[in-house]
Structure 1
Amino acid sequence: MELKYTYFYCPKDVESRYELLVFDGNNHPFLPLTEHYHDCIGRIGKSSAISYLQCLLPFFSWLDEYSNYQGERVKWDCTPQAIRVAIEEYLMNEMACKVRQKDLFRFVNRSNKSPITVSRFLSALKSFYKSLIYLKQYPYANPLIDSHAILNEYEQTEGVREGKPRMPKVAGTEDAITHRRLTDSYFKLINEEWQPEIIGDIHLPYQVYQAGKKVNWSLREMVIARMLFETGARASEVIELTIGDYRSRKSFQEASTFNKGSHGKRVKFLRFSKDTVKLLMRYINLDRKQYDELQRHFDTLPNEAPIFLTEIGTPFTYEAWYYHWDKAMKECEMKLNPHKTRHWFVTSRLRAIYQTSNTEAEVKQKKNELIKYIKWKDEETLKVYEHYFDEESHRKAHDGMLESMAEKEKAYLEQKKSRQKKKPSLTVLENNFDDMEVDDEIKELLDGLE
């Protein structure tokens, strides 16, 4: 399917309320997606907003060309029923999913031909209608939300007091809710529980650095790649660093940055190696300086200045950086999403924790420090990584047991061969108890054995 919807960033010399414009198949500005993008960046990061947009463009292109509801093309502002029919058809025909009806909603199952973006597509579409409803441009309820599921859950969570709402958890008067909340989505993706990717190759960073050298990465791309592997940060959290973020920390090996959902507020810090510090300062004072409009070095740059610049002196963006990353990965035939650097970091840190800790208390303390550093909202995330190490420990212990069994089997067979060579002989010893003083009961027993 040809992608007809596209987007462009606003040129630097043009004043506009939009930093990005989406265009439809006729090259006309398409404001619904444009408005959605700008509404998103007020709630989530720009990289996430772009990711949503990239998932939606093919769907809107498909709507104009192939959708059908009661003999007519489906438009984005049609009724929820028409939108749902179109989405279901798109999931089955374009994303190779299996969709089946369940009560008043739909179960969606990915096949081996389905792209990995199915979940993101559904989330993006739900977000789109949420934005357009908020902006009063879509007059119906969100087609991606199952209102019946919300109603049923509300009815099931009634408190112990008849006709009264549940007391808060801290009150301690209500039984705990043990059932898992069912998603309110109309299209419920099954067998799709998120699992972080465990990457255990200790040489992965150096393979990436070599890939970058092959496609002539500049010092800027190399510094960013090193910081991703050394800090466990998301790409946008590194790319959008400012000079002030670096100056705000006492240690020259650290920088403050934002977190997912913090709306730009600096709520965590990144820590990197001394070698990366040297490369970073070299970039700022040499490479960056030549693109800075005032040719400033680190000491004279203002705090609000971005650390990373494009060749035309504008702030470096995730999209511009990803071009260089993707080029290196394709050149070396590596299928490596940038976010996997974060998984690699967590896996490596956990391995080091288990290798260097002497007690369970020490392991627990270091894991809590890692959770705080990464800024995970849900501590349960770490358990998936720990499960990986539990399996590794089991493999090592099991291999040890198997080796021990093999050695014992070999010893047994050798001993058996040795016994077969010697003919067994029975020696009878005749004992004379006449000269010994023997207890009467024992003597009687011995006599009975003759």
Structure 2
Amino acid sequence: MAKYQYHYCPEGIESRYYLLVFNCENVPFLPLTDYYHDCIGRVDKSTALSYLKRLLPFFSWLDQFSNYQGNRVQWNDPPEAIRVIVEDYLMNEMGCKVREKDTFRFVNRTSKSPNTVNHFLSALKSFYKSLIRLKQYNYSNPLIDSYAILVEYKSQTEGVRKDKPRMPVEAGTEDAIPHRRLTDSYFKLINEEWQPKIIDDPYLPSQVYQAGKKVNWSLREVVIARILFETGARASEVIELTIGDYRSRKDFQEASTFNKGSHGKRVKFLRFSKDTVKLLMRYINKERVQYDELQRIFDALPSEAPIFLTELGTPFSYEAWYYHWDRAINECEIKLNPHKTRHWFVTTRLREIYNTSKTEAEIKQRTNELIKYIKWKNADTIKVYEHYFDEEKHRESHNQMLENMKKFENEYIEQKKNKRKKKPTQTVLENIKDVEIDAEIQELLDGLE
């Protein structure tokens, strides 16, 4: 099947497009090209690229297999046609079950469905938002259930008095409406909750570093990979660091950086090892100097200068970096997108907390410190990792119990072999009535009968 694909603008070619999307006939396809560039500045480049990648298979399928009332569907057809073929794509290409509900559709993933269903729906919704904003799509967004928003709005504004608006909260005459976000999606994914990936392989960073060595990573790629594993940062938060970000911290092992949604504002810091600091400074003062237009070393660089440069002397980008990352990952034959380094960091950091903390209070305090460092918007994310370690603790204690059972079993067999009897180690109470038992323990004992 012919596929939509994208290519970056070749070096030496002047174009207003940094990236071009080509359709199945290898002809430039401007709607997706314009969409990508409209995303830049609204979301970070890595998110824009990930959205684009989710849309390419859909548009390839749209051109070759879509069918609505006997005709191929175009991306700019009316919403009713788009909704029908999106539903068809979800069921036949993504293995989902789709169920009609009022003015929208419930979508259920099955065992055949990829993990990217929600990402695809978000990307398509974003695509039509952009094309409407760019005045290239002349209808309402087909991925939005406008009727549901209208009904929700009316319920939020109508008061208990017939045909009267709600009284203000200060009046105290009507119950307050609990705050909740309106769900405006036409396709609503149900029974779907994001779960972080638990990656618990202590040798994972070493595997990646060795793979990078095999594909001839430069010092630039080595430093970025080490910072990713050592800090739990997102790739863009490392790649776009400036000299000023590093200088702004009083500790030479730290750098300030932005967070997802902070719009470039430096709201958190990264902390990495002394070995990585040495490699970073070697990169800045030797490898980077070759590509800096004025061959400046660290002390001569202005604070706004990017730490990482391309061979052309331009700021290094996520897309340019990902090419090198992808080559290394393919070399070591593991599936590892860059974001999983963040999950690896959290898993490893929590294991250290659980192994070294002496009390539950200490675990709680250090876990809260980790949440603040990682800058999660929802602190409940940590619960998934904690659940993992609770299970691990149970496995450890259960294994100890099994070892003890095996030990006593062997002792018993030895006793039988030697025909020696050993006094029982447990104490037999002659009169149980004389023993006072705690009420909670008694309740437990009763429940075991």
Who is 2:429 aligned against?
A: none
Asked whether 1:261 is paired with 2:255, we answer no
Who is 1:51 aligned against?
A: 50
Asked whether 1:395 is paired with 2:395, we answer yes
What code does the residue aligned with 1:207 have? Q
Cα 1:294–1:171 shift into 2, 3 Å: farther
For residues 237-260 of structure 1, give each alpha carbon's deviation from its aligned partner in whole angstroms, at most 9, with x where no partner exists: 111111121112111111111111
Who is 1:128 aligned against?
A: 127
Q: Which deviates the most, 341-350 or 203-212? A: 203-212
For residues 172-201 of structure 1, give each alpha carbon's deviation from its aligned partner in whole angstroms, at most 9, with x where no partner exists: 999898999784322222343111011111
Counterpart contact for 2:4–2:24, Cα < 8 Å: yes
| RMSD between aligned residues | 3.2
Cα 1:202–1:133 shift into 2, 3 Å: same
Cα 1:4–1:198 shift into 2, 3 Å: closer
Q: How does 1:266-277 map to 2 (within 5 A)?
A: 266-277=266-277
Who is 1:304 aligned against?
A: 304
What code does the residue aligned with 2:284 have? I
Name the SS for the 1:380 alignment partner. Answer: helix
Q: How does 1:181-196 map to 2 (within 5 A)?
A: 183-196=183-196
Asked whether 1:237 is paired with 2:237, we answer yes
Counterpart contact for 1:5–1:61, Cα < 8 Å: no
What code does the residue aligned with 1:349 have? R
Q: Distance in 1 between matches of 2:168 and 2:14?
A: 52
Who is 1:372 aligned against?
A: 372
Give 1:155 shift.
6.2
Q: Which deviates the most, 2-11 or 398-407? A: 2-11
Name the SS for the 1:270 alignment partner. Answer: strand
Counterpart contact for 2:96–2:109, Cα < 8 Å: yes
Q: Percent identity?
A: 74
TM-score of the superposition, structure 1-length normalised?
0.84
Asked whether 1:139 is paired with 2:138, we answer yes
Q: Distance in 1 between matches of 2:59 and 2:125?
A: 14
What code does the residue aligned with 2:378 have? D
Who is 1:338 aligned against?
A: 338
Counterpart contact for 2:4–2:21, Cα < 8 Å: no
Cα 1:421–1:263 shift into 2, 3 Å: closer
What code does the residue aligned with 1:213 have? K
Name the SS for the 1:347 alignment partner. Answer: helix
What code does the residue aligned with 2:36 have? Y
Q: How does 1:189-204 map to 2 (within 5 A)?
A: 189-204=189-204
Counterpart contact for 2:9–2:15, Cα < 8 Å: no
Who is 2:220 aligned against?
A: 220
What code does the residue aligned with 2:56 have? L
Q: Distance in 1 between matches of 2:227 and 2:35?
A: 32
Cα 1:168–1:117 shift into 2, 3 Å: farther
Who is 1:20 aligned against?
A: 19
Who is 1:316 aligned against?
A: 316
Counterpart contact for 1:227–1:238, Cα < 8 Å: yes
Q: Distance in 2 between matches of 1:183 and 1:341?
A: 31
Q: Which deviates the most, 58-67 or 195-204? A: 58-67
Q: Distance in 2 between matches of 1:311 and 1:67?
A: 44
Asked whether 1:89 is paired with 2:88, we answer yes
Asked whether 1:9 is paired with 2:14, we answer no
Q: Distance in 2 between matches of 1:103 and 1:248?
A: 55
Q: Which deviates the most, 334-343 or 30-39? A: 30-39
Counterpart contact for 2:207–2:332, Cα < 8 Å: no
Q: Which deviates the most, 110-119 or 352-361? A: 110-119
Who is 2:99 aligned against?
A: 100
Counterpart contact for 2:6–2:19, Cα < 8 Å: no
Name the SS for the 1:260 alignment partner. Answer: coil
Who is 2:442 aligned against?
A: none
Cα 1:157–1:406 shift into 2, 3 Å: farther
Name the SS for the 1:108 alignment partner. Answer: strand
Q: Distance in 2 between matches of 1:320 and 1:195?
A: 29
Q: Distance in 2 between matches of 1:160 and 1:4?
A: 51
Q: Distance in 2 between matches of 1:328 and 1:168?
A: 60
Cα 1:351–1:86 shift into 2, 3 Å: same
Q: Which deviates the most, 347-356 or 407-416? A: 407-416
Q: Distance in 1 between matches of 2:408 and 2:161?
A: 68
What code does the residue aligned with 2:128 have? Y
What code does the residue aligned with 1:384 have? V
Who is 2:78 aligned against?
A: 79
For structure 1, the 5+ residue unaligned runs are 423-450
Cα 1:141–1:280 shift into 2, 3 Å: same
For structure 2, the 5+ residue unaligned runs are 423-449
